[in-house]
Structure 1
């Protein structure tokens, strides 16, 4: 049986906005899904991939 992501959450900065993504725990990485269409599924990342993404966001590399 395939493991499922747990502890889904969205940023507190999203407020009541439904146009955002949610992050869930998945093994040592993360799962990401669209809040507006949860039934569409999710994609997963490894721990190192997720850390690299977060570091890039903090460094404003997606400006």
Structure 2
């Protein structure tokens, strides 16, 4: 379980105009992912390798995004 961590630098896409987006933050040996509308919900946690594989898949079009 992830406990609340203060002082993280949360980032979101520049394409997020509404403020209702996902945000990511680096923490230790991993990456956290949260919904900017529901910051009180425990974020999802990924290792750096898992996150890099996800980003590579997005860039390669593996998820049907254009």
TM-score range, shorter chain: 0.7 to 0.9
Cα gap change, 1:41 to 1:14, in 2 (>3 Å): same
Gaps in structure 2 of 5+ consecutive residues:
none
TM-score by length of 2: 0.80
Aligned residue-pair number? 61
Q: Which structure features the higher share of strand residues?
A: 1
Task: Please tell me the root mean square deviation across aligned C-alpha atoms, in Å.
Answer: 1.7
The runs of at least 4 aligned residues of structure 1 exceeding 6 Å deviation read: none
Match in the other structure for 1:39:
40
Gaps in structure 1 of 5+ consecutive residues:
none
Q: Which structure features the higher share of helix residues?
A: 1
